[in-house]
Structure formats: C-alpha cells, structure tokens
Amino acid sequence: MGRALAVLLAWGLLVFAPFSWVQAAVYVYVDTEGTAHFTDAPTKTYFRPLPAFGLPQGVNLTSGQYADLINAIATQNGVDPALVKAIIRAESGFDQRAVSRKGAQGLMQLMPQTADRYAVGDAFDPADNIRGGVRYLRFLQDLFPGQLHLAVAAYNAGENAVLRYGGIPPYAETREYVTRVFRFYGQPDAVVTAAPIPAARPPQPARATRAEPVPSTPSVYRQVGPDGTPHYTNLPPLVRSPQPPAR
C-alpha cells in the first residue's frame, strides 16, 4: 500500500467511523515497504498515534497528569506550555513509551545523547522526559531568539543543521514537522520558509602557477668618515685591491 493510499485510508476511517470510535486513539505503523498498519490496541512500541483520531486514553491537555507536568515544567523554564504540548503531540502523540526508528524515546522523543546532555535518568518517565525536552527547547529558543520556527526546526533536525543552512533545513521531514507543530500550536498560517539548498559549485580547473621572483631586501652599508660621521648607503663601499709590494 503506497503512502497516498495510506493517507486516503486514514481519511476514510475518519469520515465513516462512528463518532464514539473516532474519539479513541488510532495508531499507525508504516513498514519498510511503505505499507501502513492501523490498530486501536498497539502491541509494539513503534506504532504511533494518529493525532486526527484523538489522543491516547487518559490524556487531557487541560488538566490531569500530563497537563500538570507540562504546565509546571514549562513555566519553570520560561517556555510556553502550549508549545510543549504541540511538540509532544507532533513527536509522540502523548505516547510515553514511543520509540522512533532512530532511537528517540518517550513523550518528547529524546535521542539518547540529548537525554544524557540534560541528565534525563529515564526517558520513558513522563516527568524526566518532559523536563529534558523542555530544557532543550529553552536552549534552542535562546539560540534563535525571536525565531520560534528555527527553534522548532532545530528540535527536529538539530541546531547544527539550522546553523549550517542559515534557516529551516531543506528536509521534507523537517518542513512538514514545523508546519504540523505550528498547526497544533494554534498558528496554522505561520509561514515556514526553508533555507535553499546550496548549489554545488562546478570543479574549477587547476591554474598553472608561475614562479615569481621573490624580491630581496636591499642591503644597507654603513661607513664612518675621517671625522667620525657615519654614512649610510645601499651601494657597497669600494674596496681597493691590495697593491703588490714594490720591487
């Protein structure tokens, strides 16, 4: 099943499913051949919730365990709780056991090196995970002040990629990710501009080098006259050849 068919199937499920069922979380997994697998009872950690079908059971973005943790930790670090909720929704769909193919873990999908960087003891513990993710997000907002779209892009692609391209990296995944986060954040009309892919420079032909003479520093000569006055010149003093003894 191709990607386009998988999307059509997802929309079909959304349109024709009974309202009470739509409120339950639906999970999807796309295998290496591009086939999408849907379930409402995931048995593997690589199944991801489909945000359009609601959040996992027990998740409440207004109050409750996740909301209280997010509100408290985000406020402590000066980050908008609504932005944290948008990122968690885009990253894991509020599945605290989520694991990506690249190894990102937990609610905010922390890579092991990021978890170590922010002293996250258990990436699957909601409080530890949110604390590490929010601290990283705070770092990115300080790194790109007033440019929230770059901070969000860096959360997905890494700050080095954003710095290298001077904007949102021209990765389809990152562009789609930024758009999705801003939609969940309540700013669906935010303009997402990706940095252009730098054009490859054609190889330049090697130039033939010509040896150039290196100018030498002129010599300066000093002579002292009979009255003791020094004289300086760039001409060497005349040296008389010794005269043969008279016979």
Q: Can you give the pLDDT of all 247 residues of the chain as single tens digits?
A: 444 444 444 444 444 443 333 344 566 666 666 566 667 666 665 666 554 445 555 555 555 678 999 999 999 999 999 999 999 999 998 999 999 989 999 999 999 999 999 999 999 999 999 999 999 999 999 999 999 999 999 999 999 999 999 999 999 999 999 999 999 999 887 766 666 655 545 555 555 555 445 445 455 556 667 776 766 666 665 545 455 566 5
Assess if residue 159 is contained within a domain: no
Alpha-carbon span 137 to 238, nearest angstrom: 80
* Beta pairing class for 48-49 and 27-30: antiparallel
Assess if residue 207 is contained within a domain: no
**Unique residue bearing structure tokens 């530890």:** 128
pTM: 0.59
Assess if residue 126 is contained within a domain: no
Assess if residue 21 is contained within a domain: yes
What is the count of structural domains for the chain?
Answer: 1
Beta carbons within 10 angstroms of residue 231's beta carbon = 10
CA atoms within 13 A on the CB side of 10: 23
Assess if residue 33 is contained within a domain: yes
Task: Tokens for 157, please give them.
Answer: 């692609």
Assess if residue 212 is contained within a domain: no
Alpha-carbon span 213 to 152, nearest angstrom: 57
Residues that are catalytic: 91
Assess if residue 27 is contained within a domain: yes
Task: Tokens for 215, please give them.
Answer: 């100018």
Alpha-carbon span 127 to 183, nearest angstrom: 25
Residue range of the domain that includes 1: 1-54
CA nearest to 65, candidates 96, 101, 99: 96
Amino acid symbol at 217: T
